[in-house]
Amino acid sequence: MSRLVYVLNGPNLNLLGKRQPHIYGHVTLADVEAECRELAGELKLDLRFHQSNREYEIIDWIHAAREEAGGIVINPAAFTHTSVAILDALNTFEPPVVEVHISNVHKREAFRHHSYVSLRADGVIAGFGTQGYSLALQRVARLIDEKAA
Ligand code: DHK
């Protein structure tokens, strides 16, 4: 089982830290990546960390993950609520998938309560702020360890 994990981020997350900080906080995506890389070192994981505002790029990264990754952590952002194509791509990927939302989507507008990605995700983290990425990585590492045992 590969110890390479893809961390994928959807639209507008490039503006993390600047965009609606009362909802998403002041931490930037670069800060999140740095935290993930530090934790990955402790967990003995390798990381590919990506963000795109384009649905097809996220799909292409999921296809790349099929070839080499042992897990995916994904915050699809608004594509969570709209993208059958991302769900279909994730359904081609067998290893663990953890879905992350920085905000508690269930406390927000009704259109954020439905996630296509949750139909595939092995676990979902919402409302833990950017700490959710670390929790997701810990979970993926645990699932990889369990499969290897
Ligand atoms: C991020 C977004 O951009 C929203 O479209 C989602 C998610 C929630 C988050 O909480 O990380 O609805």
Give a yes or no: residue 20 inside a domain. Answer: yes
Whether 1 contacts 95, CB under 8 Å: yes
Q: What is the CATH number of the domain that holds 142?
A: 3.40.50.9100
Q: pLDDT tens digit string along 53-92?
A: 999 999 999 999 999 999 999 999 999 999 999 999 999 9
Nearest-CA neighbor of 36 among 77, 70, 5, 2? Answer: 5
* Domain assignment of residue 1, yes or no: yes
Q: Relative to the CA of 10, which ligand 1 atom is closest?
A: 3
C-beta neighbour count of 65 within 10 angstroms: 25
> Is residue 21 assigned to a domain?
yes
Q: Please, are residues 87 and 99 in contact by the beta-carbon 8 Å criterion?
A: no
* Residue 123, domain extent: 1-71+114-149
pTM above 0.85, yes or no: yes
Q: What angle do CA 37, 115, 91 make, to 5 degrees?
A: 70
**What is the reported pLDDT for 132?**
98
Q: How many domains does the chain have?
A: 1
Report the candidate in 53, 86, 73 with the shortest Cα–Cα distance to residue 134: 73
Q: Is 101 a catalytic residue?
A: yes
- Domain membership of residue 78 (yes or no) is no
Is 67 part of a structural domain of the chain? Answer: yes
Residue 24 is among the residues annotated as catalytic for this protein: yes
Per-residue pLDDT of 100-135, as tens digits, reads 999 999 999 999 999 999 999 999 999 999 999 999
User: Do 2 and 70 meet the contact criterion of CB atoms below 8 Å apart?
Assistant: yes
Beta-bridged to residue 47, according to DSSP, are 5
Give the mutation target among 12, 27, 80, 107 for probing the ligand 1 site: most ligand atoms within 8 A of CB.
80
- For residue 56, is it within any domain? yes
Give the pLDDT score at 1: 80
* pLDDT computed for residue 114 by the predictor: 98
- Inside any domain, residue 91: no
Residue 18 lies in a domain: yes
Asked whether residue 35 carries a pLDDT value surpassing 90, the answer given is yes
